[in-house]
Amino acid sequence: MEDSRTESPPVIKLQVNQPECAWCDPAERCAPEERCGTDVRRIALLGNPNTGKTTLFNRLSGLRHKTSNFPGTTLEARVTRVKAGIEGGRDGDLIDLPGIYSLELDQLESRVCREVLAGTAAPRGEPLGEPECAVVVVDAANLARNLMLVGEVFRRRLPTIVVVNMIDIAARHGVVIEAQRLEAALGCGVVLTNARDGSGIDKARIGIRNARIPTPAKPVPSDQDQLRAWADDIQTQCVRANRGPGTGAMSETTSDRVDRVLLHPVGGMLVFSLVMAGLFYTIFAVARYPMEWLGAIFEWGKGLVHAHMGSGAVANLLADGIVGGVGSVLIFLPQICLLFFIISLLEDTGYLARGAFLMDRLLRPFGLPGHSFVPLLSSHACALPGIMATRGIPDRKERLATILVAPFVTCSARLPVYVLLTTLLFKDRPLMAALAFVGCYMLGILAAVVSALIARRTILRGKSRAMALELPTYKRPAMRTAFVGTFDRAKMFVRNAGTNILVICVVLWWLGAYPRVEAPTIAGRLREAAVHVVASDAKATTEVVAISDSERRGLLLPEEIVVGRDKAALDYTFFDGAMKPKAWLTGDDATKLADQIESRHQKTHSFLGMLGRGVEPVFRPLGFDWQLTIGVLASFAAREVFVSTMNVVISGQAETPDDEAGKQHLIEQIQTAKRSDGVTPIFTPAASWSLLVFFVLAMQCLPTLAVTAKESGHVKWALLQLAWMSGVAYLAAMLVYQVMS
């Protein structure tokens, strides 16, 4: 295999006299197109899909790159500061453009590339201007087709360098590139690289520095058909094929044999199901451990804030609003990292392209492409990474449709709510509870695909493009690319959590925590009694706390509570649904009860509580009373908040107890909790079913809306998602309640 060139590229003799600048090689004069003396050059990196462009970009950038998008589009743009070549020169901002087959196609990707090369578009936050250098990455094994793109770039008369990548794969197939001949034919710098192992990268850096306007041996034709002949001609001159017997062009490769299995309607689906089950297991089960660790860290952080700052307004904001709120979203970071790491590995092996074909048959009837499968599957863990994973969907409308419907599928945050409601509905019938659980999953999937179909037939109408995909040769995935890609996604997620989601969490916390109201007197009396008995020396010391009828309203409290020291003598009979006239409590339990009463009182009198009472009429047709309405409203921060909110509203306990007896006790409390009339249960079967359907279908996750707005490029899509999902959920829940009651 011939290695990349060692000589410097041919120097274009320039007629224009221009002073040498401090940044360029003193031995050469600068091309007039170069803006000498400016600090940073703008370099465009482009190429066909599957040419290893991203791997090359990562080699050049390491982890130092910014990710944004091209304005008005959802196309991802990455920019990195490339240090000057090893022998000096100027730094450059390398812009990674989307992979395209041609600059002349009527596709968004091609248009963006055309505009960047013309200097009329730039990644968000980058200055506009024509690039000073174009780096075209070509696949050594598919040279002629790739050279057509090179010809199209040459027409732009920009200083250009051609990077012939993946020379290792070409060599395996007996294809040898004559680099010097290619350089002479193209009239520009040519570098041979294998970005996977990093060979040739330094030469690429030098090549970028020395890039000049190309002067091809044969002028680039303006006609596309003639351009093909031009490219074929150059390939004939510059490629030697050392193929052995039986290995001619188009001969069967190992990838072809593997594809017969992996694309088989039965065998392929079986393998794909196993791979996806592995992916699902990893993001669900394996990610659980780091998620628990993160959860513990945030709890520790909250405790630390309270320990050092007490429980004042600032401490509460910091601990519950910021640490607690952002923590509840950041806890999904392990899932996001694992998901993108595995997707990147699968993509790099070439398998994901095959998977897209397999799933295309399943999803196409609903107007979604096969590419939508992984985002929809990922959304079963959490819609945030699912929506972020839609970047792999090439068609804009299909991508928007996937983003809009992804939150319908059951995410892990809904699970605690399903557990609570199915337990309430089928208390001693685990089989029925399990069936209801599965039904919730199915309802979510059905709602997603039907909504996608409606969207594709109305607002996102467009031809469902039949799939044509290049199937890259199977290869070992590059860990470095997977790590860099994962780091990139994690950084974006954390940045989002630290900005939009932080604001959302703080606002929702504030609505639930303010205005501060005076604690009910019963709580104060219970605390006093607890302090008294604990301070007393005599074991038999007791305090009787009498509770008036007005104080007992809405609370499941007895008429009298006796607080004593001796635990064994006390009968913990609270909230058991059959109140005795007297109840006994230890000092600690009395303090806990006082906390619960205060917490409940605060919640029900907060802005959120007021809002709950205010909008209760809206939710009345669904069978929700004001307490359920508070739970539904609070769960807009994150769905799982519903359970803790209901715990607080009904019992005052924020945390679900760890022990089984405690859990049962709480379930009983919730089950027997009454509406304001003191007679009707909050959770009637009709209301429970209605609530379950509502939670399956409703958009109750503001962080998801924030990500939708970001990924779709416009807030209107987030608003549409909110309106559509809420509307569907409302109508379905109302139907269920009205029919069942």
CB of 106 to other proteins, least distance (A): 6
Minimum gap (Å) between residue 392 Cβ and other proteins: 16
Smallest distance, Å, CB 189 to other proteins?
22
Q: What DSSP element (H or E) covers 647?
A: helix 641-650
- Angle in degrees, CA 49, 51, 56, rounded to 5: 115
Nearest residue (CB) to other proteins, 357 versus 619: 357
Minimum CB–partner distance for residue 684 and other proteins (Å): 51
How many CA atoms, within 13 angstroms, populate the side-chain half-sphere of residue 390? 29
What does the chain come to in residues?
Answer: 741
Measured CA to CA, the distance from residue 631 to residue 619 in angstroms comes to 12
Instruction: Give CA–CA dist 701/720, Å, rounded.
Output: 14
CA 59 to chain CA centroid, nearest Å: 25
CA–CA distance, 134 with 156 (Å, rounded to integer): 10
Q: How far is the CB of 267 from other proteins (least distance, A)?
A: 12
In angstroms, rounded to a whole number, what is the distance separating the alpha carbons of residues 656 and 662? 8
Q: Is the separation of the CB atoms in 49 and 98 below 8 Å? A: no
Q: What is the CA radius of gyration of the chain?
A: 32
Report the residue number, 144 or 531, with the smaller CB distance to other proteins: 144
CB of 399 to other proteins, least distance (A): 17
Whether 612 contacts 385, CB under 8 Å: no
Contact 374, 398 (CB under 8 A): no
| Residue closest to 385 by CA, chosen among 292, 497, 289 | 497
Q: Please give the single-letter amino acid code of residue 585.
A: L
Strands ordered across the beta sheet of 560-564: 542-546, 560-564, 582-586
Question: Which CB sits closer to other proteins, 241 or 434?
Answer: 241
Residue 68 or 253 with smaller CB distance to other proteins: 253
Which CB sits closer to other proteins, 179 or 413? Answer: 179
C-alpha–C-alpha distance, residues 133 and 733, integer Å: 59
Nearest-approach distance from CB 138 to other proteins, in angstroms: 11
Nearer to other proteins, 463 or 476 (CB): 463
Q: Which two tokens stand for residue 295?
A: 């959860």
Q: Minimum Å distance from CB 174 to other proteins? A: 10
State in angstroms the smallest separation of the CB of 87 from other proteins. Answer: 34
- Classify the C-alpha dihedral 475-478-484-486 as positive or negative: positive
Question: Is residue 562 within a helix (H) or strand (E), and if so which, with residue range?
Answer: strand 560-564
Nearer to other proteins, 363 or 424 (CB): 363
In 3D space, the residue among 716, 283, 260, 320 whose CA is nearest the CA of residue 507 turns out to be 320
Q: Rank residues 239 and 322 by Cβ distance to other proteins and give the closer one.
A: 239
CB of 236 to other proteins, least distance (A): 4
Spatial neighbors of 690 by CB under 8 A, at least 6 apart, are: 622, 623, 624, 733, 734, 736, 737, 740
Q: Among residues 49 and 439, whose Cβ is nearest to other proteins? A: 49
Min dist CB 148 to other proteins, Å, is 7
CB closer to other proteins out of 186 and 329: 186
> Sign of the C-alpha dihedral, residues 597, 598, 603, 607?
positive
CA trace torsion 655, 660, 666, 670 (10° rounding)? 120
Residue with smaller CB distance to other proteins, 82 or 166: 166
Q: Find out whether 177 and 238 touch, Cβ atoms under 8 Å.
A: yes
**Residue 547 · residue 594 · CB < 8 Å:** no
Strands 40-47 and 133-139: parallel
Smallest distance from other proteins to CB 150, Å: 13
* Least distance in angstroms from the C-beta of 347 to other proteins: 15
Please say which residue, 241 or 546, places its beta carbon nearer to other proteins: 241
Nearest-approach distance from CB 473 to other proteins, in angstroms: 7
Q: Nearest 5°: CA angle at 569, between 567 and 573?
A: 85
| Closer residue to other proteins in complex, CB, 356/504 | 356
**Count of alpha carbons within 13 angstroms of residue 242, beta-carbon side:** 10
Choice between 237 and 500, CB closer to other proteins: 237
Of the two residues 260 and 495, which places its CB atom closer to other proteins in the complex?
260
Q: How far apart are CA 240 and CA 207, in angstroms?
A: 24
Q: Smallest gap, in angstroms, from Cβ of residue 472 to other proteins?
A: 8
In angstroms, the first-to-last Cα distance of the chain is 78
- Would you tell me which residues interact with other proteins (CB under 8 A)? 101-102, 104-107, 141-145, 148, 170, 173, 175, 224, 228, 231-233, 235-236, 239, 241, 248-253, 255-256, 259-260, 263, 265, 353-354, 357, 360-361, 463, 465-473
Q: Which residue, 114 or 480, has its beta carbon nearer to other proteins?
A: 114
In the bound complex, what is the minimum distance in angstroms from residue 357's beta carbon to other proteins?
5
Q: Which is nearer to other proteins, 145 or 674 (CB)?
A: 145
Least separation, in Å, of the C-beta of 356 and other proteins?
A: 9
Q: Which long-range CB contacts under 8 A does 524-527 form with residues at least 24 apart? A: 524/594, 526/561, 526/563, 526/590, 526/591, 526/593, 526/594, 526/597, 527/590, 527/591, 527/594
**Pairwise CA distance, residues 650 & 674, whole Å:** 9
Q: Look up tokens 């008294």; give the residue.
A: 532
